[in-house]
């Protein structure tokens, strides 16, 4: 039957259709299930790789902070590797293929501890390394920086990946690479006191307890008062230091020129021997008659009378039993030292004024004590350049007629024999009893034309005769203001002229006024042009806590006031450059730390208005105007050093003795570097791996 | 006339095979749905955990320290120290997926130190709110993520 056959055929189609549909549906269901599993796996891998990324980011931050902290630890291993660019860490000259072979591990203890506390994190290995990938030790002009100074790039690399035993179960991994620029600068550079520097160093000025760059100009402009002030007293005291620790003193003299310091009562023992009376030439009776025309005139007048009474004529004079000789002594020159001996002071003033007039110089006629350098026995190890001592060379003619007899030879007319007649005049003898007649250069005296002061001249002596017949061969018989000797005790040795440099030129400079300011390489500075309020914001200066944290060279755009709230304690190695600095209270190094505070102005003053101890180097040297100065408005007690264009002591507080004690921390046989690593990231690459 | 057809036994066996196949497909489909939704909500929860870490990293250590010390309040949508609902509002500055409101979030800040190093550990836990459909779909009831924000030079 056709219907039966037809039904059988339709039933077979339906079954196959149903099976086909079921297979398709089954395949789709399997595909859906596969995709679901994939999604779950992706979600899990995302979590693992995200965890790895978070740990890598944390480790990178920690590694950076570790490096940052280590760059202020001058004795740390990492610091020294970085500064010396040890072969372990320095890949700056290594080919690209081998750069990754260099590097030093950076500990990331906090990240490891955190990872260990996490179920997945504990299965991850975290490593951080640091390497130098670039370093430039020359400036933009190609001039080489000092020793290990320079600008470099440090690469930090952090890798987070599964530990080997979990590599089959975990697929997440992350590597972060960052570059930070860093700067290496010497804050204190080594100096051997027995030699000069051979090139510019940023901290060269710290070699000196006192450095006056434009000293010669200031000295001449003030008539010597810059170093021999009228009312101010300054001592630079290095008592107790060994010669290798002494801070040098340079007062700014140009080569082949000099400056001098007045000798007063306190430093009189610097005057070279002989300091006491030194007998030079004894003269005979005839020379005495020539040297002392007034005396001779009186003798002659009395003789004439005697001879006339006898109706004879004079044939000559003779004298015996007298004392007459030239002597000299070396005396302090200052008013205060000579004040007890008024006649000596008058003589010195006369000699001084006469010399000035003769040399056509204008200078103060009052002579004040100089600034003092202690210990005076070690000045030969302290001073540089040509510093002279100025004392009073007192030359005089000593004559004592108290025991003398004077005769006149007379001859009567028509007689062949001469008669010797003694002249006895106690008044005349007494006039020249124990007389001390200053010998002054006749040419100098002649230069005083106004008659105001040469009235003080003892006109008993014939200065012209003295000049022409005695002083011409024995110049020491004349009084003079002597500045021929160096400011040394027991020596007149020529001292080394300091080696000074322009920071980009290799050659040494003769003229100190051309010497570069310290810390001139501004591309090695840590910060530039920062307002003062940023110091507090950056945590560098905390006025309320009275703390100063120093690190590298910071240049401010505004004047800085330190110590408004009391003594400030500082920590770290650093330089602050500002357009004007005022120190209101003490400034002290944190005990037990290798800290140094160097305060610098460029053409602006540094004012110290406290009597409290200031432990710092004060440097006021202009780049262009060369008018740097330091002013102590109260009695200054500085433990450090001073470097300035001009001393300008007349601006300092009068009537007190300011004291500068050199800090031997600045005189080292090693270089003290500071590394400043930038927080800014100059390059970053992150590679995440989740398969 | 003998009519061709299936015996009852054949039908029963066929239905049994068909039932197994259909049930398997249903089970697979359900498992797939479950896994898919689990993955989705895991991903969402983990993203919600990651978000404050990234934001807090941007805030930096000093700010987080002030927050941890109680000197500064954190932004309103990042409460610290308490498990809070994640706000969803079309008017909010911070926009989340609508299903974010099915989660709660706990942000914890813990200072950590090692020598001179100072840091802030951030731990974010995202938990499923009770009585929500996420509870059905998500296999874990909470996910957490941690990281460190270190003090940085200024």
CA A147 – CA B11 distance, rounded (Å): 98
Q: Which helix (H) or strand (E) holds A645?
A: none
- From the list A33, A46, A61, the residue facing B32 with the nearest CB is A33
Whether A173 contacts A161, CB under 8 Å: yes
For A84, phi then psi, to 5°, come to -80, -5
A51 touching B (Cβ < 8 Å):
yes
**Between residues A452 and A167, which one has the greater pLDDT?**
A167
pTM over 0.90: no
**Between residues A421 and A691, which one has the greater pLDDT?**
A421
Mean pLDDT within A121-130: 94
Whether B29 contacts A29, CB under 8 Å: yes
Nearest-Cα residue of chain B relative to residue A39: B39
- Would you state the pLDDT for residue A113? 94
For A154, phi then psi, to 5°, come to -105, 130
- Would you state the pLDDT for residue A2? 47
pLDDT digits (tens, 9 = 90+) for B11-31: 899 889 889 988 988 888 888
Please give the interface size between A and B, counted as residue pairs whose CB atoms are below 8 Å apart. Answer: 120
- Would you state the pLDDT for residue A10? 57
Taking only residues 70 to 109 of chain B, the set having a beta carbon closer than 8 angstroms to any beta carbon of chain A reads none
End-to-end Cα spacing for chain B: 103
Nearest-Cα residue of chain A relative to residue B113: A110
pLDDT for residue A456 is more than 70 = no
SS3 A39: helix
CA A39 – CA A249 distance, rounded (Å): 79
- From the list B57, B114, B153, the residue facing A109 with the nearest CB is B114
CA-CA-CA-CA dihedral for A649, A653, A655, A659, to nearest 10: -70
Residues 6+ apart with CB under 8 A from B12: none
- Tell me the chain B residues in contact with residue A40 when contact means C-beta distances shorter than 8 Å: 35-36, 38-39, 42
Interface contact A46-B4, CB threshold 8 A = no
Q: What is residue A506's DSSP assignment? A: -
SS3 A209: strand
CA A327 – CA A281 distance, rounded (Å): 7
**Between residues A295 and A64, which one has the greater pLDDT?**
A64
Q: Averaging pLDDT over each range in A437-441, A658-662, B34-38, which range is the top one?
A: A658-662
Strand pairing category for A547-556 and A568-578: parallel
B153 touching A (Cβ < 8 Å):
yes
- Tell me the chain B residues in contact with residue A45 when contact means C-beta distances shorter than 8 Å: none
pLDDT for residue A60 is more than 90 = yes
Residue A260 exposed, middle or buried by CB count within 10 Å (0-12, 13-18, 19+): buried
What is the total residue count of chain B?
Answer: 154
- Would you state the pLDDT for residue A1? 43
pLDDT for residue A361 is more than 50 = yes
For residue A637, what are the CA distances in angstroms to A50, A234, A593? Answer: 60, 10, 21
Whether A390 contacts A483, CB under 8 Å: yes
b/e map A82-101, b = 16+ CB within 10 Å: bbebeeebbbbebeeeeeee
- Would you state the pLDDT for residue A502? 82
For A422, phi then psi, to 5°, come to -85, 135
pLDDT tier at A504, thresholds 50, 70, 90:
confident
Domain boundaries, chain B: 8-150
Number of continuous H segments (helices) and E segments (strands) in chain B: 3, 4
Angle A289-A291-A293 (CA atoms, 0-180°, nearest 5)? 65
CA A271 – CA A390 distance, rounded (Å): 9
Omega prior to B61 cis, within 30 of 0: no
CA A448 – CA B76 distance, rounded (Å): 92
**Between residues A556 and B89, which one has the greater pLDDT?**
A556
- How distant is the Cα of A21 from the closest Cα of chain B, in angstroms? 11
CA A629 – CA A638 distance, rounded (Å): 15
pLDDT tier at A630, thresholds 50, 70, 90:
very high
Strand pairing category for B84-85 and B103-114: antiparallel
pLDDT for residue A666 is more than 90 = yes
B150 touching A (Cβ < 8 Å):
yes
Nearest in space to A469 (alpha carbons), one of A317, A292, A291: A291
CA A270 – CA A257 distance, rounded (Å): 21
Residue A376: count of CB within 10 angstroms of its CB: 17
For A119, phi then psi, to 5°, come to -55, -45
Structural tokens at position A643: 């470097």
- How distant is the Cα of A252 from the closest Cα of chain B, in angstroms? 41
Structural tokens at position B37: 């939704």
SS3 A145: coil
CA A149 – CA A138 distance, rounded (Å): 9
Angle A242-A248-A254 (CA atoms, 0-180°, nearest 5)? 155
Nearest-Cα residue of chain B relative to residue A37: B35
Per-chain mean pLDDT for chain A: 90
Whether A339 contacts A435, CB under 8 Å: no
For residue A436, what are the CA distances in angstroms to A285, A323, A343, A445, A473? Answer: 17, 11, 10, 18, 21
pLDDT digits (tens, 9 = 90+) for A137-169: 998 888 889 999 999 999 999 999 999 998 888
pLDDT digits (tens, 9 = 90+) for A173-226: 999 999 999 999 999 999 999 999 888 999 999 999 999 999 999 999 998 999
Q: Which helix (H) or strand (E) holds A157?
A: strand A150-162
pLDDT for residue A387 is more than 60 = yes
Q: What is residue A487's DSSP assignment? A: S
ipTM of the modeled complex: 0.88
B32 touching A (Cβ < 8 Å):
yes
- Would you state the pLDDT for residue A690? 67
- Would you state the pLDDT for residue B35? 86
Interface contact B117-A69, CB threshold 8 A = yes
- Would you state the pLDDT for residue A579? 95
Mean pLDDT within B88-93: 76
> What region, left, alpha or beta, does residue A69 occupy, with left being phi > 0 and alpha being psi -120 to 50 degrees?
alpha
Interface contact B39-A50, CB threshold 8 A = no
Domain boundaries, chain A: 41-184+677-689, 204-255+511-670, 268-372+390-486
pLDDT digits (tens, 9 = 90+) for B101-146: 899 999 999 999 998 899 999 999 999 998 888 888 888 899 999 9
Whether A90 contacts A132, CB under 8 Å: yes
pLDDT tier at A25, thresholds 50, 70, 90:
confident
Residue A610 exposed, middle or buried by CB count within 10 Å (0-12, 13-18, 19+): buried
Interface contact B149-A58, CB threshold 8 A = yes
What is the total residue count of chain A?
Answer: 691
Interface contact A114-B36, CB threshold 8 A = no
A118 touching B (Cβ < 8 Å):
yes
For B12, phi then psi, to 5°, come to -65, -45
pLDDT tier at A455, thresholds 50, 70, 90:
low
- Tell me the chain B residues in contact with residue A117 when contact means C-beta distances shorter than 8 Å: 146
For residue A572, what are the CA distances in angstroms to A189, A234, A575, A597, A598? Answer: 16, 29, 10, 8, 11
Concatenated DSSP letters for A544-609? TTTEEEEEEEEEESS-EEE-TTS-EEEEEEEEEEES-EEE-S-EEEPTTS--EEEEEESSS-EEE-
pLDDT digits (tens, 9 = 90+) for A8-23: 555 568 778 888 888 8
Interface contact B1-A39, CB threshold 8 A = no
Interface contact A47-B147, CB threshold 8 A = no
User: Which residues face A177 on adjacent strands?
Assistant: A157, A685
A537 touching B (Cβ < 8 Å):
yes
pLDDT digits (tens, 9 = 90+) for A562-614: 999 999 999 999 999 999 999 999 999 999 998 999 999 998 999 999 999 99
- From the list B3, B28, B116, the residue facing A30 with the nearest CB is B28
CA-atom Rg of chain A in angstroms: 44
């Amino acid at each position: 039957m056709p219907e039966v056959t037809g039904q059988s055929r339709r039933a077979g189609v339906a079954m196959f259709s149903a099976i086909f549909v079921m297979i398709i549906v089954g395949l789709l269901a399997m595909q859906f299930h596969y995709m679901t599993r994939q999604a779950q796996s992706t979600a899990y891998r995302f979590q693992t790789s995200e965890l790895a990324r978070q740990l890598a980011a944390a480790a990178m931050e920690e590694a950076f902070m570790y490096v940052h902290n280590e760059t202020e630890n001058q004795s740390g291993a990492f610091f020294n590797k970085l500064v010396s660019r040890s072969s372990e860490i320095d890949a700056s000259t290594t080919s690209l293929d081998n750069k990754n072979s260099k590097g030093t591990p950076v500990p990331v203890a906090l990240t490891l501890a955190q990872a260990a506390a996490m179920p997945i994190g504990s299965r991850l290995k975290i490593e951080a390394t640091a390497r130098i990938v670039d370093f430039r030790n020359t400036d933009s002009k190609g001039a080489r920086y000092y020793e290990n100074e320079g600008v470099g790039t440090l690469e930090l690399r952090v890798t987070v990946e599964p530990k080997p035993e979990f590599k089959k179960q975990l697929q997440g991994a992350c590597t972060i690479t960052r570059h930070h620029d860093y700067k290496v600068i010497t804050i204190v550079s080594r100096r051997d006191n027995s030699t000069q520097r051979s090139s510019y160093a940023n901290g060269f000025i710290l070699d000196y307890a006192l450095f006056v760059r434009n000293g010669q100009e200031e000295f001449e402009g003030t008539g010597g008062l810059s170093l021999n002030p009228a009312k101010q007293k300054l001592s630079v005291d290095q008592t107790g230091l060994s010669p290798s620790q002494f801070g040098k003193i340079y007062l700014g003299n140009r080569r082949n020129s000099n400056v001098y310091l007045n000798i007063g009562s306190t430093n009189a023992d610097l005057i070279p021997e002989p300091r006491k009376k030194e007998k030079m030439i004894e003269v005979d009776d005839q020379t005495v008659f020539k040297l002392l025309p007034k005396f001779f005139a009186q003798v002659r007048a009395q003789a004439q009378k005697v001879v006339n009474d006898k109706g004879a004529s004079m044939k000559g004079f003779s004298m015996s039993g007298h004392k007459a000789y030239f002597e000299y002594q070396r005396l302090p020159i200052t008013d205060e030292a000579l004040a007890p001996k008024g006649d000596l002071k008058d003589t010195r003033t006369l000699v001084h004024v006469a010399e000035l007039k003769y040399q056509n110089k204008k200078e103060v006629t009052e002579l004040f004590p100089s600034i003092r350098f202690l210990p005076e026995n070690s000045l030969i190890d302290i001073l540089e350049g040509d510093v002279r001592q100025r004392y009073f060379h007192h030359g005089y003619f000593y004559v004592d007629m108290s025991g003398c007899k004077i005769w006149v030879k007379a001859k009567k007319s028509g007689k062949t024999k001469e008669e010797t007649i003694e002249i006895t005049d106690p008044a005349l003898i007494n006039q020249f009893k124990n007389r001390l007649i200053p010998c002054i250069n006749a040419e100098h005296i002649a230069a005083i034309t106004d008659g105001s002061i040469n009235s003080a001249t003892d006109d008993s002596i014939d200065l012209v005769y003295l000049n022409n017949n005695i002083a011409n061969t024995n110049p020491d018989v004349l009084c003079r203001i002597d500045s021929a000797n160096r400011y040394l005790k027991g020596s007149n040795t020529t001292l080394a002229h300091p080696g000074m440099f322009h920071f980009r030129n290799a050659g040494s400079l003769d003229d100190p006024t051309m010497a570069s300011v310290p810390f001139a390489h501004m591309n090695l500075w840590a910060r530039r042009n920062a307002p003062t309020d940023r110091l507090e914001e950056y945590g560098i200066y905390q006025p309320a806590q009275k703390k100063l944290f120093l690190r590298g060279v910071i240049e401010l755009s505004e004047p800085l006031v330190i110590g408004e709230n009391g003594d400030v304690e500082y920590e770290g190695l650093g330089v602050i450059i500002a357009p004007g600095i005022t120190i209101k209270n003490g400034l002290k190094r944190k005990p037990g730390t290798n800290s140094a505070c160097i305060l610098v102005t460029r053409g602006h003053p540094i004012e110290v208005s406290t009597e409290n101890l200031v432990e710092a180097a004060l440097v006021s040297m202009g780049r262009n105007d060369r008018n740097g100065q330091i002013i102590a408005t109260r009695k200054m007690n500085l433990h450090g050093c001073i470097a300035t264009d001009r001393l300008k002591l007349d601006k300092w507080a009068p009537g007190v003795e300011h004291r500068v004690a050199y800090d031997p921390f600045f005189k080292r046989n090693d270089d003290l570097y500071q590394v400043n690593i930038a927080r800014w990231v100059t390059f970053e690459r992150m590679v995440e791996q989740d398969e | 006339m003998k009519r061709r057809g299936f015996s009852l036994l054949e039908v029963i066996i066929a239905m049994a095979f068909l039932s197994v196949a259909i049930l398997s497909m249903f089970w697979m489909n359900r498992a797939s749905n479950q896994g898919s939704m689990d993955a989705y909500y895991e991903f969402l929860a983990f993203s919600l955990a990651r978000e404050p870490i990234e934001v807090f990293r941007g805030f930096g250590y000093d700010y987080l320290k002030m927050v941890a010390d109680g000197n500064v309040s954190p932004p309103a949508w990042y409460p610290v120290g308490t498990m809070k609902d994640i706000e969803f509002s079309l008017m909010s500055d911070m926009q989340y997926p609508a299903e974010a409101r099915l989660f709660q979030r706990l942000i914890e800040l813990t200072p950590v130190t090692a020598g001179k190093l100072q840091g802030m550990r951030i731990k974010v836990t995202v938990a499923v709110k009770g009585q929500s459909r996420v509870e059905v779909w998500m296999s874990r009831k909470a996910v957490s993520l941690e990281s460190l924000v270190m003090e940085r030079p200024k």
